[in-house]
A and B are shown apart, each in its own frame.
Chain A
Amino acid sequence: MATVPALQEPPAVVADAPAAQPKKGFRKYWHLYVAISPFYLLFLCFGLIPVGFSLYLSFHRWDGLGSMEWAGLSQYQYLLSDSDFWASIGNTLIIWALATFPMIFLAMLTAVMLNSAVRFKNVYRFAYFLPNVTSVVAIAIIFGSVFSTNFGLVNALLQAVGIDQVAWLNTPWGIKVAIATLMTWQWTGYNAIIFLAGLQTIPSELYEAARVDGAGPVQTFFRVTLPLLRPTLLFVLVVSTVTGLQSFTEAQVLLQNTSNDSTFSGGPDHAGRTMVLYFFQQTFDNNDFGYGAAVAWGIFLVVVLFSIINWRLVKRRGEE
């Protein structure tokens, strides 16, 4: 708890600075500035300065110990031609798509069913939300055993119906399917609860009007529910994109013991090496801080790009 005094000290500095100025406003409001200052000071020290420093770093070569060496744009030039980085983008997008589309479908289905089931609603919501609060590390360990080649449950089921075993964590597609299944399991219930909240804002008169007009349940869903659920869908899609494209823990824990030299390797043939895993490998295994910073900016651009694409896709469909 030695951190508390350290945190309370900086605000005093801010309080002095405005008070020293002749402006009456600051003297009158100084206590308000002090009250909001902790967040801004923390952000300055652990957000703004680091982000600026990482931009500076991406124009240099640095192993974290010796002296920095000016590198100009060469880190970025290398990034563009780095097939490992492009492969990691591909891995990330495939895993994201394999996880997100089933997840959104299942979440919406669950939400629609929960919205009409009156009894036990709270029991269902509690159970469906549980996967999301459990730690990814524990879940990845558990899923590692479910997908294990030798004793995994999935292979036991396959064997029971007479299908050959699959080396899930040893083949490129098996790895991606295992990671995506984990993500789908962890996020379906969470998003179902978000969709349910969206569904509950739709006035029941609209459903009644649809029924009077003779619309069946399927027609009602596509004509009434889905259009009105679009803002919620947009929220879910953007959040899934931002978190999904930055996935790290799932693949790291699931595949960390498949290689002797790096815990960030992403499994055989690096098939599960996501963008963020590649960033950690370059930075903390190769001690290439300059290139690591360039990779981080590359990831940032990819995430921003795909968030915009998602946003526009969902929005345009809404305008038609």
Chain B
Amino acid sequence: MASIKGSRRRGVALHAVLVIGLLLSAFPFYWAVIMSTHTSSEIFSYPPKLLPGSHFLQNVRSLFDNIGFFGSMFNSLLVAVSVTFLVLFFDSLAAFVFAKFEFPGRGLLFALLMAIFMVPTQLAIIPQFVIMAKIGWIGSMTALIVPAAANAFGIFWMRQYMRSAIHDELLDASKLDGANFLRQYWHVALPVVRPGLAFLGIFTFMGQWNDYAWPLIALTNPDNVTLQVALSQLNGVHGTTDYGMVMTGALLALIPLLIVFAVGAKQIIADLGKGAIR
């Protein structure tokens, strides 16, 4: 009896600590909600407000007056959605080839792919900027979409997935039925690896949605930027800032991301762990 009581007490203590961690994780979001529902003078007063106020709609209105919120959100969606579909297509196609076909130079090309993994982005930024200025992409979303349209991580990830998920017998059977390479890719490979695609898609979307350094440099027209850059402009005004409004922007910018995460959380958390210990 004593040991059961002891283990139960330990279980309660464990959950107590875990709940504290959970509250620490969630607190900044709650803090953002509080600030986005108060006026600046309320925010500046002491003691700090710990419960939501009633000025949310007012903050939303001044946010929409100050930045092209929906234009920026449209740009962010355009970039994130385009890149996600391009990455899913190009990466899975290349991964299918590396996973299931033999051809001269395969080992070398795949080793090159792994080496490319390691190349840091800083080194390429200046020339990328110069090249894109020359071809006239600077200032447009094309500068964000095209370089991101395929990546080494996705090819590597999908190859690992396809090697075990697609059975050779299935491919052989489809070949006997007269399916060519593209048909095999589309009708045999893709349906089997949907969970892998889901992970890569969510991962890519979130990465693009949150991307900041390159868009900050490449989008030279301050009226035509992504949401992250617009938020940063809002926050970056020297001197006094309307914190309630800025916080409302930060909060609203998180919503599409939270929706995507809520849909794919289970998948992404499970696959993340798998990828790390592989």
Query: Which residues in A have some Cβ–Cβ distance to B below 8 Å?
Result: 1-4, 6-7, 25-26, 29, 31-33, 35-36, 38-40, 42-43, 45-47, 49-51, 53-54, 57, 64, 106, 110, 113-114, 116-117, 119-120, 122-131, 133-139, 141-146, 150-151, 153, 156, 159-160, 185, 189-190, 193-194, 196-198, 200-201, 231-232, 235, 246, 248-249, 252-253, 256-257, 259-260, 263, 276, 279-280, 283-284, 289, 292-293, 296-297, 299-300, 303
Q: Which residues does chain A contribute within 8 Å of B194, judged by CB atoms?
A: none
Cβ-based interface call for B46 (8 A) = yes
A-B contact pairs, 9 of them (CB 8 A): A32-B101, A50-B128, A130-B261, A134-B29, A134-B210, A134-B254, A151-B43, A232-B277, A249-B213
Please name 9 further chain A to chain B contacts, defined as beta carbons within 8 Å, in addition to the given A32-B97, A39-B150, A53-B126, sorted by A numbering.
A3-B142, A47-B116, A120-B15, A129-B268, A133-B257, A141-B235, A151-B44, A197-B277, A296-B125
**CB pair B31 A35 closer than 8 Å:** no
Cβ-based interface call for B131 (8 A) = yes
A129 vs B14: C-alpha distance when bound (angstroms): 19
Cβ-based interface call for B212 (8 A) = yes
A123 vs B23: C-alpha distance when bound (angstroms): 12
**CB pair A257 B235 closer than 8 Å:** yes
Main secondary structure of the interface of B (DSSP, over half): helix
Q: Which of A31, A64, A114, A122 contacts B181 (CB 8 A)?
A: A31
A138 vs B253: C-alpha distance when bound (angstroms): 8
Query: Which residues in B have some Cβ–Cβ distance to A below 8 Å?
Result: 11, 14-15, 17-18, 21-22, 24-26, 28-29, 31-32, 35, 43-48, 82, 86, 90-91, 93-94, 96-98, 101, 103-104, 109, 112-113, 116, 119-128, 130-131, 142, 145-147, 149-152, 155, 181, 185, 206, 209-210, 212-213, 217, 228, 231-232, 235-239, 241, 243, 246-247, 250-251, 253-254, 257-258, 261, 265-266, 268-269, 272-274, 276-277
Q: Which residues does chain B contribute within 8 Å of A125, judged by CB atoms?
A: 269
A79 vs B235: C-alpha distance when bound (angstroms): 32
On whether A138 and B94 interact (CB within 8 A), knowing A248-B213, A279-B122, the answer reads no
On whether A39 and B91 interact (CB within 8 A), knowing A64-B130, A263-B236, the answer reads yes
